[in-house]
């Protein structure tokens, strides 16, 4: 793995060397919290936070924000995700993955054809409702669902809006064992989508109990597998005193937001948290990024009560902070 040419590398001329996003590839067996703590020690920072939980048994892309970049963690969490998953037909489990207890079985004597698979997967694309699984961290009445599940309780869960942008069968992955059939898919989806639940629903549409038997996150917002580092690679960078080469800038991490380059005068007003005329921001979005000399100054949003104005949403530079070159 390691940085692809897609992202610019931070260099000695850049300000705030520890205010960046680390494109981490999480290995199996680690919790997302474990990863944050390890990044904190590795980079010698106090502030760090991940951008979307991965279960311990799942591997893949887990961007970790450090320093001032922790302010943009929610913006990265809100981005679309991509996964490679394996679905197994033939039995279902309590947790909807391979870790749970078997709850239902139905031997697959004759599995679906590739054509049936492709047609079924296509039917799941688009906007839809999804009910989160009982074994999840979603809260109902102030309590996490998995806490109810461990008590042997099932509670009503409100359906959530999700968007499956693309759902593809990965060719030549259909395999059959004595009583089960497995195949792999690639899914690009909105945040909050449970791939485990999607696997169960796909199995039901094919006429069989099913579960998600494997999962890898291959992209999170602008960060893909090719641009990631494992902990072993990061530690090697530390030993070579090149850890600074591993981070993505705040500007790169927010490239999915509409952005506007502003003059020094406007940037100073933004740093002071001033309300500004709505026409300064792009018309197509209610939230957008202001830049000065290609540096992120703040995210602004349409004022909820005064739509002809825009107001600060997330300040990324203080009034005393200036870029190091030019006054345009």
Rounded to whole angstroms, the Cα distance separating 327 from 278 reads 24
Q: How many other CB atoms are found less than 10 A from the CB of residue 51?
A: 28
3-state secondary structure of 84: strand
Marked catalytic residue, from 19, 55, 97, 201: 55
Assess contact for 161 and 132: CB atoms under 8 A. no
Q: Helix 114-123 and helix 195-206: axis angle, to 10°?
A: 120
Instruction: Please choose, from the candidates 59, 33, 58, the residue with its C-alpha nearest in 3D space to the C-alpha of residue 48.
Output: 33
Assess contact for 187 and 80: CB atoms under 8 A. no
Assess contact for 237 and 243: CB atoms under 8 A. yes
Tell me if residue 224 is catalytic.
no
Placement of tokens 């970790």 in the chain: 64
Rounded to whole angstroms, the Cα distance separating 120 from 286 reads 36
Assess contact for 311 and 291: CB atoms under 8 A. no
Residues forming a β-bridge with 149:
none
Rounded to whole angstroms, the Cα distance separating 73 from 12 reads 24
Instruction: Please choose, from the candidates 76, 311, 91, the residue with its C-alpha nearest in 3D space to the C-alpha of residue 180.
Output: 91
3-state secondary structure of 187: strand
Active-site amino acid positions = 55
């Amino acid at each position: 793995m390691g940085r692809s040419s897609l992202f610019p590398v931070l260099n000695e001329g850049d300000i705030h060397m520890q205010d960046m996003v680390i494109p981490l590839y999480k290995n199996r067996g680690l919790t997302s919290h474990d990863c944050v703590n390890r990044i904190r020690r590795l980079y010698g920072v106090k502030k760090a936070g991940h951008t979307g939980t991965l279960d311990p048994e799942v591997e893949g892309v887990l961007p970790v924000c450090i320093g001032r970049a922790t302010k943009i963690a929610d913006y990265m969490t809100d981005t679309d995700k991509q996964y490679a998953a394996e679905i197994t037909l033939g039995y279902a489990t309590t947790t909807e993955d391979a870790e749970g207890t078997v709850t239902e079985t139905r031997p697959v004597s004759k599995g679906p054809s590739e054509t049936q698979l492709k047609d079924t997967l296509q039917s799941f694309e688009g906007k839809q409702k999804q009910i989160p699984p009982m074994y999840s961290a979603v809260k109902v009445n102030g309590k996490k669902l998995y806490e109810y599940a461990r008590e042997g309780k099932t509670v009503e869960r409100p359906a959530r809006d999700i968007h499956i942008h693309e759902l593809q069968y990965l060719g030549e992955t259909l395999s059959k064992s004595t009583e089960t059939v497995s195949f792999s898919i690639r899914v690009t989806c909105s945040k909050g989508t449970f791939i485990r639940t999607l696997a169960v629903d796909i199995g039901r549409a094919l006429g069989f109990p099913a579960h998600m038997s494997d999962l890898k996150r291959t992209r999170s917002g602008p960060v893909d597998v090719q641009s990631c580092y494992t902990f072993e690679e990061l530690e090697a960078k530390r030993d070579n005193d090149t850890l600074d080469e591993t981070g993505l800038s705040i500007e790169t991490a927010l490239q999915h937001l509409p952005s506007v380059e502003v003059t020094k005068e406007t940037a100073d007003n933004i740093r002071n948290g001033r309300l500004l005329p709505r026409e300064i921001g792009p018309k197509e979005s209610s939230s957008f990024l202001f830049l000065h000399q290609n540096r992120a100054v703040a995210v602004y949003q349409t004022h909820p009560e005064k739509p002809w104005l825009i107001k600060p949403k997330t300040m990324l530079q203080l009034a005393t902070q200036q870029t190091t070159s030019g006054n345009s």
